[in-house]
Structure 1
């Protein structure tokens, strides 16, 4: 039996999906994404709310992660309830019904030189 790991609540504050891409689709399109690790025996229901600088929050975006699986979620692909805004600073609050681990990463292919940066989201103590 696996040890229970992760948190129910996560947040990150440094999102921005570049409009410009020089790579071929879909592998090298500029994007932000999270990887969600669910080591529990239950399906994880991930709910996300997006915060922009000058408009009301948008959400809730919902994604399921099967037990004992990882799922990568590209923010570029989020369209319901509203497509993500490109070239806009955003933050994200993530809530899960079971403990999960979340990692945020970005790929920026706006120039001929690829750059990727990754960082852990912030686990919120409840």
Structure 2
């Protein structure tokens, strides 16, 4: 039995207003953030990311691909994972994720700046839905 193409599951543009890569890490885990993307469609998704700051110009990343029917967790502290964008630690930021096919975006933060680590995650805000 063939299954229908999941059309429109997600959105083309997502916003995350609260980003902050902690400067400190303790123990064996590194403090970091990730933009988690689910592509449930049968077409690969091509993403561009724009990082916004309070006191500087935006930083853009291009050419990020999420294969069809896959998920990718893009660490914002690793430029090679976010299309070459360099996001500084210890600086508040927001991120806009744009895709050429509908995707779902979640944002996660691992803060190991103290022994009792914290993990925070939130669904991004879809635009135009």
The answer to whether TM tops 0.5 is yes
Deviation for aligned residue 1:23: 2.7
* SS in structure 1 at match of 2:17: strand
- 1:15 aligns with one of 19, 32, 52: 19
Partner of 1:36: 37
Deviation for aligned residue 1:82: 4.2
Q: Deviations over 1:46-76 (max 9, x none)?
A: 1100001100111134310000001110101
Contact 1:47 1:96 in 2 (8 A): yes
Contact 2:61 2:85 in 1 (8 A): no
Give the aligned length.
123
Partner of 1:105: 108
Contact 1:46 1:97 in 2 (8 A): yes
The unaligned stretches of length 5 or more in structure 2 are none
1:123 aligns with 2:126: yes
Contact 1:61 1:78 in 2 (8 A): no
Distance across 2 between alignment mates of 1:92 and 1:82: 11
The unaligned stretches of length 5 or more in structure 1 are none
When the two chains are superposed, the root-mean-square deviation of aligned CA atoms in Å is 1.4
Q: Deviations over 1:49-108 (max 9, x none)?
A: 000110011113431000000111010112554421110000001100000000111000
TM-score (norm 2): 0.89
Contact 1:13 1:92 in 2 (8 A): yes
